[in-house]
Structure 1
Amino acid sequence: MVVPLLNLHVRSLGVSPVVAGIVGSSYGILQLFSSTFVGCWSDVVGRRSSLLVCILLSALGYLLLGMSTNVFLFTLARVPVGVFKHTLSISRALLSDLVTEKERPLVLGQFNTASGIGFILGPVVGGYLTELDGGFYVTAFICCSVFLLNAGLVWLLPWRDNGWSLDGKHTTEPIKSEGTLQGGAATTSTARRSERTVQAPWVEVMLALKDMKNLIFSALWDVFLMRLLMGVAVMLYYSNFVLALEERFEVRPKTTGYLISYTSALGTLAGFAVGPILRLYKHNSYMVLLHSNVLTCLLLVVYSTTYSMAMVVFSSTLLSFSTTIGRTCITDLQLSVGGAQASGTVIGVGQSVTAVGRILAPLLSGVAQEISPCGPPSLGAALALVAILIMTLNRPPISGDGSERLKQE
């Protein structure tokens, strides 16, 4: 609801594209330093407590955003959101705890479908309200109210952290996984943590981070680099989408909001296609990810070079499918290579990588936008091409029929 309007709003405060990019990067900087810690924290204290805190403080951020009448207040409002808006990451970690590995891509796809419903309704409401006097501020307050409603649901609904006790420690034996690279190391790390005496949560978080360090830099560096490049590529596409359509085709923000909602609806439907596509590829997440990235790269080129609004709609339509499939597969690939015993940490590190993209994307978008409205998506296509080359040259150690763990199951 609010995200597509942020660039337009900060520009309305009277700043240049470069300054707007710097301000927009503040969110990514905070996400960079908080994602991994929040992921570890959710592993230590439990999903419910961490989820509730993140929702409430995110609501505070949107409340402040609704009162941002200058650049300082706008930047200040991004602080609590940047630090604590990890609700989707914690939810994904919770789902990873609850399902088997073979079911995980399908469940994550369904989860992305459910979360995508908000991207269907949000841009329509936001695009409509922003044309009213003070509409952006009303939109921010509505977003705050939605977060408060979610906090109430987490607090009131019956809840049982599967396999987690009140102090955040595992109460059941973790599911054993065979044939995973670094699986033994992850299991050993889990065993060491289970043998430690009860310590302060922040100490447990630091110990978990130390256990994950070697794994991340030895087995996952190429996966995270692919995630970074593709994330920045897609962010560059969305970063000036409303503004670019207004400058290139004189499309009003309200109409652009309808287009965003349309593509979000298609992205939601794409979540239902994850299961059949994985079965078609024999659960080979790597090949699905590679092909979706190739399609994304080609569509960014089409969007950047077209002079027809019809081609914009066409490229946006297919991008909604390719990016949805890609997001699901990259998360599954992370967990397959890194192991699911510390799923919150692995997903948290992935979110930190995405946060680096959120830092770089506004800066790169601001500079590229000074050259042309087509600059950001053109740069995104180039980064996507680099990601494809890295995937081709540095294939993760996963067998042709899916991960080794899938074969064992």
Structure 2
Amino acid sequence: MNDDSVTRSGPLRFATAERFSPPVPVRGVEPAHGSGGICPQPPSRLDKVMGPPHDRRPQSEDCLHLSVASPTASGTTGRPVLLWFHGGGFSSGAGVLDWYDGSALAAEQDVVVLSAGYRLGALGYLVLDGVSEGNLGLLDQLEALRWVRENIHLYGGDPGRITLIGQSAGALSILQLLRMPEARGLFRRAVLQSAPVSIATRPVTEARETGRLFAAHLGTDPRTASHESLLAAQARTAADLQRRVGNTLVPPFGPVSGADSAQADPHGFAFEPTAMDILYGWNADDMSAFPEGPNDHGSVAERTRRVYESPLTALHGELERAGARVHGYRLDWRPRASAYGATHCVELPLLLGSAAAWRGAPMLGDLDWSEVDRFGREVRRAWAAFARTGDPGALPAPMTALDR
């Protein structure tokens, strides 16, 4: 999208990858073919909350693409850079979707905004002897960050002022990047939105067991199986896992600890003291988006407290002990006539996308886009202030600043 104040570039290919192999970086700027493929995936389990995306894109393993939204003012350099990693339970979503268009944020706040894709599900996180060691999606994100570091000056961005922003699975990904020695020094700040930190990683032994279950459901070589077969086996594996753990939030595939040299100790953080600014938070009704399970029951408030508030409050202390400067928030924004309240993902239209991208989203109730945009401008201002200075400043109501 191009207009007088901002240009949206892409999709751009930042890496390529053979199935179950690490990503190979692309040097320089290489446009992706067509509309840019998205990783093969099932429909999102949050379609009932967000609505399905209006932009339909081809599913392809050539999916390591990103989009850039940059102000068009010529001759201006050194802008703060915000790199977005989407959520979707490590099984759905894509950075190039119109939901994640950063044009409004870039135009209003004079920043450069990018959104990146990564491999999902079994293609991104399978652990299976002789096939994959896992964490390929995480390595994709690391490669996207390296591409931004090397090329963002071409779009007026400052490679020394990169802020990572992620929601849900995207926020969990950033937590892993914080722990990776390979990512040290590549970014300066991080925003963690609604990160369910209790499922941030799983032990490699557990991931191998899930991988064997997946292989049994698949019944053929995962290296040559069709996308349809992979997704069908993935769905059966997810159903088995949910029956076993009694929790609908846990995805079948995601980051694993100890799977390869890129994954450091999952307990504690690898960045140097005072080297990082962190903004984290959750939505007051996050768990209204997810059904109860046998081992995950209670009111929305109780479940949100258990899954988000308590673990994130503990994370605040862990980050501070590691030397980070930490700011917290809780979002209490409940769109009129929405059955979901301040649910999981409800902050996304406040930051990214457009009226057309979010048209008909159930979580927005009957709000006119002008009402969404009015509050969104204040949220975008706070996120951009954090990217510039490490401090979001006064947060707009109904968003509450938190200390521990």
Q: Which has the larger radius of gyration?
A: 1
Higher strand share: 2
RCO higher in structure (CA 8 A, sep ≥6): 1
TM-score by length of 1: 0.27
Structure with the larger helix share: 1
TM-score by length of 2: 0.28
